[in-house]
Structure 1
Amino acid sequence: MKLEKMVRSVYPNLSPYVCKLEDLPVEEIKQALGLDKVSKLSFNENPLGPSPKAIDAMQKSLTQLNLYPSSNGEAVLHKIAEKEGVTSDSIILSNGADEMIILVAQTFLEPDDEVIIPKISFVQYLASTHLMGSTPVFSPMKKDLGVDLDAILERITNKTKAIFLCNPNNPTGRAIPAEELEVFLSKVPGQVLVVIDEAYHEYADGDGYRSSVELGKRYKNVFVVRTFSKIYSLAAARIGYGIGQPEMVDAINHVRPPFNVNSIAQAGALASLDDDEHVLHSRQINEEGKRLLIDVCEELGLTYVSSQANFVYVDTAKDNKVVFEQLAERGFIVRTLTGYGLPTSLRISIGQPDDMKNFSKAFKEVIQNEEKD
């Protein structure tokens, strides 16, 4: 069997997800490091876990696992529509935000298309572009690692089919000011799809940030992606959604697999949307953790980004692999950003208050020891 004659021509550009230490579940990390306690601060997970209401709803749904779930997730669609001020036919559910991005690519991208992606942003945009055999066009970042919207506009050609924006951006946490985004959208040709990934929307509350759902009502080429994996803490359940014009949603439904979101995830999402107290508590814990981490960065004189998400981007000014290894020895797992061309930078998720206090001590110790060396 000659595999190269069987697979699609895009195969050489596709890579399977390979787990590094920072990607493993906590129990596996403990085993790999020989430690009894590990604080995993690499996956941008909500340390509080799901809403108690969501856990209860998901447990009750287990008695009906013999039944197929709602194919469209009608109850969840109506609840989101009520919350966002849109019609339910403007929303589509997916198996996490990752699948939503893949579905968008499968619906709209052709091999001859170009897709503009900020150089430092979520890797799924590039993966989905390659999946469809389209050509990625990278736009440079601003000096402060903000998304350079003017640079994106300069790269639009008659081959441009889509633009991917993460707002707030991962892995920097920097948000695009709403006024700048609206001016940008007014200049993007109507036939170019603008996908705005708002995975961290519920955490953002500053730097002029506003959701693009309202903009999507005026600019018909805007499609907003959301997830229940972050502040709602349903990462393992895998449920996300998109909001756009009804005809755009209908087009995506032509490629969406039926029953792509299971009944347990739907039950958890529905209950999560009714627990505002859990969301507020999650924000509070996140803000306190960010403030502590930022204070440490300022004390150490390190460059960081005032994140609008549940993580902080830090330039350690040292080899991030060395810093990672020394933190791992102390039981703290963070995200290295070498793959983004940032060999001295880390992305540090916000954990429980005690985890952040202990991490801050360990981080200072590692950085200060590095300085002495």
Structure 2
Amino acid sequence: MKLEQMVRSVYPNLMPYTCALADLPIEEMKKALGKERVYKLSFNENPLGPSPKAIAAMQQSLAQLNLYPSSSGDAVQAKIAEKEGVHPENVILSNGADEMIILVAQTFLEPQDEAIIPQVCFVQYLASTHVMGAKPVFSRMKDDLSIDLEDVLQKITAKTKVVFLCNPNNPTGTVIPADEMKTFLQRVPENVLVVIDEAYHEFAEGDGYASSVELTKEFANVFVIRTFSKIYSLAAARIGYGIGQAELVDAVNHVRPPFNVNSIAQAGALASLDDAEHVASSRENNRRGKQLLHRTFDELGLSYLKSQANFVCVDTGLEGSEVFDRLAERGIIVRTLNGYGLTSHLRVSIGLPEEMEAFALAFKEIIQTSKTNA
């Protein structure tokens, strides 16, 4: 069999998702490291777990696993629409935010098209662009690693079909202020779709941030993506959603598979939206965790980004991979950013207080020992 003659021409640009140590489920991390206790601070997961209301609703839904779920998730659509001040026809559900990004690419991108992607941003935008055979065009970051909207505008050509933005941005945690976002959208051609990924929206507070959902009412070419994976702790259930004008949503619905969101995920999402206490607790845990990281990095004299998400990006001043390995020896797993060319940086997810204290203690020891031996 000559596989190269059978697969699509985009095949060389694609890679299956491979799990390095930082990508493994925590039980597999324990086996790989030979440790009883491991702190996983690499996946931006909510350490508090799902809302008790969500767990109860999902358990109740198990009795009807023999039945197909609502194809479009009408009840969840309606609840999201009510919460966000839009209409149900402005909302579309997906199998996590990742699938929504893929659906957008399948709906709008063709091989002759270009998609603009910030250079340090969520990798799914690049993967989905490649899947469609379109050309990724990278926009530069500012010196502070925030997204450079002016450079994005300069990169737009007659071939540009989609612009992907992540706000707050992963892996930097920086935000695009609301006034800058609106000015930017006013200058983007109407035939260019601007996709704004707000996976970390619920954690953002400050720096002029505001959701772009309101802007979908003003700009027909704006599509916002959200997820239940982060603050709502439903990462394993796989449910996300998009918000845009009805015509945009209908276009994406043309390629969306029926029953793409299972009934358990829909039940959990509905209940999660009703649990404001769980959201507030998650925000407070996140706030305290970031404060501890900020203090730790300040004490060490290290440069870091004031994140508006549930992680912090820090410049260790050393080889990031080396610091990663030394933390892993202590059962603490974070994320290197070598793939972005940030070879001295780490991204640290916010965990429980015990996990953050353990990281701070180990990290201080590693950095101080390195400075002493230098």
TM-score by length of 1: 1.00
Letter in 2 for 1:149: L
Cα deviations by residue, 1:240-281 (Å, 9 ceiling, x for unpaired): 000001011111111000000000000000000000000000
Deviations 1:191-219 (A, max 9, x none): 00000000000000110000000011101
Distance 1:29 1:212 in 2: 37
* Equivalent position of 2:26 in the other structure: 26
Look up the equivalent residue of 2:55 and give its one-letter code: I
Task: Find the aligned partners of 1:75 and 1:371 in 2 and give their Cα distance.
Answer: 56
TM-superposition CA deviations, 1:310-355 (whole Å, max 9, x none): 0000010100111001000111000000011110000000000111
Letter in 1 for 2:77: L
- Aligned pairs (5 A) from 1:272-291: 272-291=272-291
CA distance in 2, matches of 1:21, 1:358: 19
Listed as ranges, the matches of 1:70-109 within 5 Å are 70-109=70-109
SS in 1 for 2:115: strand
Counterpart of 1:182 in structure 2: which amino acid? K
Q: Residues 66-215 of structure 1: matches in 2 within 5 Å?
A: 66-215=66-215
1:363 and 2:354 aligned: no
Q: Who is 1:353 aligned against? A: 353
The residue type paired with residue 175 of structure 1 is V
Letter in 2 for 1:194: V
TM-score, normalised with respect to structure 2:
0.99
Give, in whole Å, the separation in 2 of the partners of 1:258 and 1:372.
59
**Equivalent-residue separation in structure 2 for 1:224 and 1:321 (angstroms):** 34
Distance 1:358 1:157 in 2: 49
| Partner SS, residue 344 of structure 1 | strand
Aligned to 2:226, what secondary structure does the other structure show?
A: strand
Cross-structure match for 1:220: 220
Structure-2 separation of matches of 1:35 and 1:327: 13
- SS of the residue 1:347 aligns to: strand
Which residue does the alignment assign to 1:63?
63
What letter matches 2:75 in structure 1?
A
Counterpart CA distance in 2 for 1:370 and 1:138 is 35
Separation in structure 2 between the aligned mates of residue 146 and residue 106 of structure 1, nearest angstrom: 28
Instruction: Please give the alpha-carbon distance, in whole angstroms, between the structure 1 residues aligned to 2:25 and 2:170.
Output: 21
Partners of 1:253 and 1:162 in 2: CA distance: 18
Q: Which residue of 2 aligns with 1:39?
A: 39
1:287-366 alignment, distance < 5 Å: 287-366=287-366
2:263 is matched with 263
Shift of 1:163: 0.2
Structure 2 unmatched runs, 5+: none
Task: Please give the per-residue CA displacement for 1:6-64, whole angstroms capped at 9, x wherever unaligned.
Answer: 10000000000010000001111111111110000000000000000000000000000
Which ranges of 4 or more aligned residues in structure 1 deviate by more than 2 Å? none
The count of residues paired between Structure 1 and Structure 2 equals 373
The percent identity for this pair of structures is 71
Shift of 1:174: 0.4
The letter for the 2-side match of 1:272 is S
2:34 is aligned with 1:51: no
2:205 counterpart letter in structure 1: D
CA apart distance, 1:358: 1.4
What's the offset of the Cα at 1:225?
0.2
Unaligned runs of 5+ in 1: none
Q: Secondary structure at the match of 1:77?
A: helix
Tell me by how many angstroms 1:145 deviates: 0.4
| CA distance in 1: counterparts of 2:219 and 2:246, whole angstroms | 13
